[in-house]
């Protein structure tokens, strides 16, 4: 029997439209773009959508035929020329590898291109034009993505992540491959219905006691009902202002369109009728000042003693490192949620770091502040040097003030990492990173906007984070998958950054509907 041939492609971007004014358009140099065999080598074995596609195809003895794959970390609106280049390269790559049975494509679902609010639908329509109607197309979306009529009209099976952190991306991709094989074998005739809900949903974890968890559990319960192939809730991306902003519930059934519509409406009504629960989220955040006071109190840090000692002597003392905590106390983790790289923020906001340095927090480390100029300066002068820096704060009001200070260069890494938490096993070159010491505070400075998913920033530079009183990083939720059982407490620190969880800070001027809670007169029909 002839082997099935499944193409593997990808266009992945989560667009923060509010970042465009401060940071400019996202251009081609921000994308990792790969064609052909290196795609499989890069992505196989990872706990990710393409990792799931590849593994399941191998298990089912399906040939994986790599096409074109482009990924950029979350950032501002994509330049039109950049998108057209990605689209053109994707279509050319697919044309080269025909004939095919299925095109597997990783899509986030929250990309925005200048002049195109639905680039995923546009790309799928173009792919359909190349492969024809007999070739199937499948995808697994991010929980913060969207679905549109154009996407539905050009896809044969679609599902999405249910969890945030996205710990289920790989199994959901596995399921998509298995479903399309069943569809090819005429086991199912899928019908998809979706409900649009005019809500801007905040970045709430589904793995704690939140409204998001209850929504996830409701979707899972619907998925188990007779005749249902899948139920996915797409929260949408709250930091994107387009004509398509909002939530979606999508339900796929076997043949029964009325059943899909009924269950999608049922879950849509549940979300709408409980929408006030979104505001429970706001109570969970603290200011940088409150976070520092909590750490000082819980870790018995004598601030007066810290302030009295000589700055250079503090640097020297800190450079020798620490013995492990004799009491086996775990560090307190401060999550700088408003400057989360995973939301397309500037990643150089100093609001939290500035307070840590003011307090001169003993045994504290800040993992992952973006400043290419400072990294390059540290590389120029080398390990063991003391340099004058203007650290962070380079993107206006969203970034805060640049921190002008002396810093000691403790260590440098090449930036070759392997993820150990979310997307476990995926390898990445994030370019050189440096470890600076500023008084009692250590700072890992990076050249690419990488989220603090795990302890890579620490271990690459010789930092044993468990020896510290406090670990700060830039992430909103994904860090929990790795750190939750490794720290004493997690404090969510909100500031005026481009990823703030106070969604009412971000006006919705382009949506076709009034969106709750930004607009009090929202209507769901």
The DSSP code sequence of 168-198 is: THHHHHHHHHHHHHHHHTTS--EEEEEEEE-
pLDDT-derived band at 43, boundaries 50, 70, 90: very high
Residue 326 binned pLDDT confidence (cut-offs 50, 70, 90): low
Structure tokens at 291: 């976070």
Question: Rounded to whole angstroms, how far apart are CA atoms 257 and 190?
Answer: 9
What are the DSSP calls for 193-256, one per residue? EEEEE-B------SSSSSHHHHHHHHHHHHHTSTTEEEEEEE---TT--STT-SEEEEEEEES-
Residue 366 pLDDT more than 50?
yes
Q: From CA 24, how far away is CA 5, in angstroms rounded? A: 40
Residue matched to tokens 């596995």: 174
Mean pLDDT in residue range 215-226: 98
Asked whether the beta carbons of 347 and 456 are under 8 A apart, the reply is: no
pLDDT above 90 covers a percentage of the chain that reads 80
Write the DSSP string, 451-499.
---SSHHHHTTT--GGGSSEEEES-SSTTHHHHGGGSSEEEEE--SSTT
Closest CA to 75 of 237, 248, 285, 202: 237
- Cβ contact 419:407 at 8 Å: no
Confidence label for 318 from pLDDT (cuts 50, 70 and 90): confident
What pTM value is reported for the model? 0.91
Enumerate residues 6+ apart whose C-beta is below 8 A from 313: none
Rounded to whole angstroms, the Cα distance separating 26 from 369 reads 20
SS3 call for 432: coil
Dmax over CA atoms of the chain, in Å, equals: 79
Quickly list DSSP for 324-381.
Answer: PPTT-PPPEEEEEGGG-GGGT--S---HHHHHHHHHT-TTEEEEEEE-HHHHHHHHHH
Per-residue pLDDT, averaged over 407-420, amounts to: 94
Phi-psi region of 452 (alpha: psi -120 to 50; beta: other; left: phi over 0): beta
Residue 301: predicted pLDDT: 83
Length of the chain: 525
* Average pLDDT, integer, range 491-510: 88
Tens-digit pLDDT profile for residues 64-112: 999 999 999 999 999 999 999 999 999 999 999 999 999 999 999 999 9
For the stretch 5-40, pLDDT in tens is 999 999 999 999 999 999 999 999 999 999 999 999
Residue 520 is predicted with a pLDDT of 84
Is 308 a residue whose pLDDT tops 50? no
Cα–Cα distance, 169 to 143 (Å, whole number) = 9
Q: Where are the domains of the chain?
A: 1-180, 288-493
Integer distance in angstroms from the first to the last C-alpha of the chain?
50
Residues 463, 319: Cα–Cα separation, whole Å: 11
| Calpha distance 142→234 (Å, rounded) | 8
Q: SS3 of 86, please?
A: helix
Assign a CATH topology to domain 1-180. Answer: Rossmann fold (3.40.50)
Distance CA 184, CA 1 (A): 15
Confidence of residue 305 (pLDDT cuts 50, 70, 90): low
Mean pLDDT of the chain: 94
Listed ranges 259-263, 357-361, 463-467; the one with the highest mean pLDDT: 259-263
Rounded CA separation 311/79 (Å): 45
Distances (CA, A) of 35 to 43, 83, 93, 96, 150: 12, 16, 7, 11, 26
Read off the pLDDT band of 284 (50, 70, 90). confident
77: left (phi over 0), alpha (psi -120 to 50) or beta: beta
Q: At 66, phi and psi to the nearest 5?
A: -70, 140
Asked whether the beta carbons of 55 and 174 are under 8 A apart, the reply is yes
CA nearest to 320, candidates 291, 358, 363: 363
278-282 own/partner pairs: CB under 8 Å, 24+ apart = 278/199, 278/201, 278/202, 278/204, 278/211, 278/516, 278/517, 279/517, 280/210, 280/211, 281/202, 281/204, 281/210, 281/211, 281/501, 282/501, 282/502
Range 320-337 average pLDDT: 84
DSSP string, 135-167: SEEEEEE-TT----HHHHHT-SEEEE---SS-T
Question: Reduced to 3 DSSP states, what percent helix, strand and coil does the chain have, rounded to the nearest 5?
Answer: 35, 25, 40
DSSP secondary structure letter of residue 118: -
Integer Cα distance of 355 and 518 in angstroms:
30
Contact 192, 250 (CB under 8 A): yes
> Given this model, what pLDDT does residue 303 score?
60
CA dihedral 489, 493, 498, 503 (to 10 degrees): 100
Residue ranges with strand state E in 77-116: 102-107
């Amino acid at each position: 029997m002839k082997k099935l041939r499944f193409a593997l492609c990808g266009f992945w971007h989560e667009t923060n439209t509010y970042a465009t004014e401060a940071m400019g358009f996202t251009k081609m140099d921000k994308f990792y773009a790969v064609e052909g065999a290196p795609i499989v080598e890069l992505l196989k074995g990872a706990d990710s959508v393409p990792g799931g596609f590849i593994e399941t195809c191998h298990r089912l003895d399906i040939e994986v035929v790599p096409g074109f794959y482009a990924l950029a970390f979350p950032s501002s609106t994509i330049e039109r020329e950049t998108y057209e280049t990605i689209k053109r390269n994707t279509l050319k790559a697919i044309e080269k590898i025909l004939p095919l049975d299925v095109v597997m494509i990783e899509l986030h679902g929250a990309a925005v291109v200048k002049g195109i609010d639905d680039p995923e639908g546009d790309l799928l329509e173009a792919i359909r034009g190349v492969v024809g109607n007999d070739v199937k197309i499948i995808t697994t979306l991010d929980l913060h993505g969207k679905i549109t009529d154009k996407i539905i009209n050009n896809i044969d099976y679609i599902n999405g992540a249910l969890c945030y952190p996205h710990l289920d991306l790989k199994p959901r991709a596995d399921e998509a491959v298995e479903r399309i094989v069943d569809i090819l074998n005429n086991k199912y005739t899928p019908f998809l219905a979706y409900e649009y809900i005019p809500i801007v949903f905040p970045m709430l974890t589904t793995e704690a006691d939140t409204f998001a968890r209850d929504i996830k559990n409701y979707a899972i319960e619907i998925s188990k009902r007779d005749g249902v192939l899948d139920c996915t809730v797409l929260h949408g991306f709250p930091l994107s202002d387009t004509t398509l902003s909002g939530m979606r519930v999508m339900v796929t059934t076997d043949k029964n369109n009325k059943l899909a519509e009924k269950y999608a409406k049922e879950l849509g009504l549940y979300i709408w009728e409980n929408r006030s629960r979104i505001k429970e989220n706001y109570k969970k955040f603290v200011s940088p000042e409150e976070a520092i006071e909590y750490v000082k109190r819980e870790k018995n840090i004598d601030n007066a003693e810290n302030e009295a000692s000589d700055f250079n002597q503090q640097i020297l003392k800190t450079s020798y490192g620490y013995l492990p905590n004799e009491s086996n106390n775990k560090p307190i983790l401060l999550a700088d949620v408003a400057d989360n790289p995973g939301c397309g923020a500037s990643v150089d906001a100093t609001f939290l770091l500035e307070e840590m340095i003011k307090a001169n927090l003993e045994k504290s480390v800040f993992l992952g502040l973006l400043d290419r100029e400072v990294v390059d300066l540290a590389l120029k002068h080398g390990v063991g040097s003391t340099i004058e820096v203007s650290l962070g704060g380079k993107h206006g009001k969203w970034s805060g003030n640049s921190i002008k200070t002396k810093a000691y260069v403790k260590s440098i890494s090449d930036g070759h990492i392997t993820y150990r938490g979310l997307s476990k096993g995926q390898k990445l070159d994030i370019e050189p990173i440096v470890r600076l010491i500023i008084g009692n505070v250590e700072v890992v400075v990076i050249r690419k906007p990488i989220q603090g998913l795990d302890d890579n920033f620490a271990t690459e530079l010789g930092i044993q984070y468990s020896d510290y009183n406090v670990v700060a990083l830039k992430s909103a939720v994904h860090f929990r998958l790795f750190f939750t059982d490794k720290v004493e407490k997690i404090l969510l620190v909100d500031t005026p950054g481009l990823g703030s969880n106070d969604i009412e800070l971000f006006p919705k001027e382009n949506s076709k509907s009034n969106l709750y809670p930004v607009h009090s007169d929202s209507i769901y029909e």
